[in-house]
Amino acid sequence: MHILISGAGVAGLAAALELGTRGHEVTVVEYDRRLRLAGTPIDIRGDAVETAQRMGLLAEIRRQRLRMSETAWFVDGDGEPIARVPLAQIGDSDDDIEILREDLMRILAGALPDSAAIRFADSVAALTDDGDGVEVRFASGRTGRYDLVLGADGQHSAIRGLVFGPEEDYARHLGVYIALAALPAEARIEGANAIYNVPERMAGVFRYKDKAVAVLEFRSEPLDYDRHDTDAQKRIVIDAFAGYRSWRIPELLDALRADPDFFFDSASQIHLPTWHRGRVALVGDAGYSAAFLSGRGTSLALTGARILAEELDRCGGDHTTAFRRYEARQRPYVAFAQSSVDDGRDRILPASWAAIAARNEALRAAAADAR
């Protein structure tokens, strides 16, 4: 089959790999001019580890594995460690793998077969499913006809918008925003892998390999802003931390001001009654974002891409049955991931000074019990 995938993130690349190696001709269209490699380390958890193995990627993923979270601390205003980040409460097992998002993206892109090609700086502008195929018009003016179209274009998926309707019909805002910014070289050594809280906000510095990233998160009602206006997004973060100058907050805000690749998004989930319509299906955050607070978005993208490709194989040309089976097999993973965010939010963003102190006390007590 000739398959178009919108989005070259983890889900899009994994789907391209799985479908391309099964003999399909795959075109991936990515809105950006290059792979978007920003991001803190992400986790491959549970059955996604076995999925990575079946994809033939596990050895390389393990080789590039990080152990950053294992060295992460909550710190006080002086940068003194006060409690360890409780990995045992977050992950599934010791088999979980932490890897830099950038490294996983490169591993996936490097494994693509010749039958899968990525086209950058373009996107789907319109599509028509006539039952026998999908006619696509791209923003560049190009056109194409495909047997199937997969929306792997993330939380704010354009394919979902075109086929299933506006995002507000399916998005569930979790009351949290996240910003990521690269830290300049001179900031990289001291106080890394540390999380500092003020009520409803966290500031973190994470160092891995030769890079360091500032992470700023805050609780908020849904905000109305232009997703293509980076300066406006930076102002939102700066305003959210206005009045807070403790620990390294001013330095992290300066890093955010200076970073052209700054990343900003909400923690939002996508809840759709179905992930497929006709010849179009959704994979990854586009169909079932669990939000970064779940720590499972990448695992869902990997299992989703694999299951979809397996079912298309198993069902021959019958994409309708294949999509239905994909959904039946992937739903339990999604339900579990989407239900696991509240603990993460309360742990990372306690709402008051008292709640911050109570969390630290509970973590210290748990650590003492474990000794």
Ligand X SMILES: Cc1cc2nc3c(=O)[nH]c(=O)nc-3n(C[C@H](O)[C@H](O)[C@H](O)COP(=O)(O)OP(=O)(O)OC[C@H]3O[C@@H](n4cnc5c(N)ncnc54)[C@H](O)[C@@H]3O)c2cc1C
Residue 211 to residue 202: CA distance in whole angstroms: 20
Contacts of 173 (CB under 8 A, 6+ apart): 221, 222, 266, 267, 268
Q: Which is nearer to ligand X, 45 or 359 (CB)?
A: 45
Assign 283 to helix, strand or coil: coil
Kindly identify the residues of this chain, within the stretch 245-284, that bind ligand X according to CB under 6 A. Answer: 263, 284
Binding mask 103-142 for ligand X (x = CB under 6 A): --------------------x-------------------
Binding mask 299-328 for ligand X (x = CB under 6 A): --x---------------------------
Give min distance, CB of 370 to ligand X, in A. 27
Residue nearest to ligand X (CB): 9
Of 3, 148, 152, 202, the one binding ligand X (CB under 6 A) is 152
Give min distance, CB of 285 to ligand X, in A. 4
Of 4, 68, 158, 202, the one binding ligand X (CB under 6 A) is 158
Assign 266 to helix, strand or coil: strand
Tokens at 173, concatenated: 């805002």
Using CB under 6 A as the binding rule, whether residue 204 contacts ligand X is answered as no
Q: Which is nearer to ligand X, 197 or 268 (CB)?
A: 268
Give min distance, CB of 182 to ligand X, in A. 12
Selection from 191, 176, 296 nearest residue 240 by Cα: 176
Of 3, 4, 7, 312, the one binding ligand X (CB under 6 A) is 7
DSSP of 206-263 = EEETTEEEEEEEEE-S-----TT-HHHHHHHHHHHTTT--STTHHHHHHHHHH-TT-E
Q: Which is nearer to ligand X, 82 or 259 (CB)?
A: 259
Kindly identify the residues of this chain, within the stretch 165-184, that bind ligand X according to CB under 6 A. Answer: 180
Phi, psi for 334 (deg, rounded to 5): -70, -45
Tokens at 245, concatenated: 């100058």
Using CB under 6 A as the binding rule, whether residue 62 contacts ligand X is answered as no
Q: Which is nearer to ligand X, 58 or 139 (CB)?
A: 139
Contacts of 164 (CB under 8 A, 6+ apart): 170, 272, 277, 282
Q: Is there a contact between 263 and 179 (Cβ–Cβ < 8 Å)?
A: yes
Buried b (16+ CB within 10 A) or exposed e, 293-303: bbbbbbbbbbb
Of 285, 322, 341, 356, the one binding ligand X (CB under 6 A) is 285
Give min distance, CB of 36 to ligand X, in A. 4
Assign 85 to helix, strand or coil: coil
Phi, psi for 318 (deg, rounded to 5): -85, 85
Q: Which residue has the tokens 């920003």?
A: 38
Residue 342 to residue 86: CA distance in whole angstroms: 15
Give min distance, CB of 59 to ligand X, in A. 21
Of 46, 86, 154, 350, the one binding ligand X (CB under 6 A) is 154
Q: Which is nearer to ligand X, 57 or 82 (CB)?
A: 57
Give min distance, CB of 37 to ligand X, in A. 7
Q: Which is nearer to ligand X, 82 or 285 (CB)?
A: 285
Binding mask 20-49 for ligand X (x = CB under 6 A): ---------xxxx---x-xxx-x-------
Selection from 32, 25, 26 nearest residue 9 by Cα: 32
Q: Which is nearer to ligand X, 13 or 198 (CB)?
A: 13
Give min distance, CB of 203 to ligand X, in A. 15
Q: Which is nearer to ligand X, 27 or 82 (CB)?
A: 27
Handedness of CA 27, 32, 33, 39 (dihedral sign): negative
Give min distance, CB of 270 to ligand X, in A. 10
Assign 327 to helix, strand or coil: helix
Q: Which helix (H) or strand (E) holds 204?
A: strand 201-208
Give min distance, CB of 289 to ligand X, in A. 6
Residues near ligand X (CB under 6 A) are: 6-12, 29-32, 36, 38-40, 42, 101, 123, 152-154, 158, 180, 263, 284-286, 292, 297-298, 301
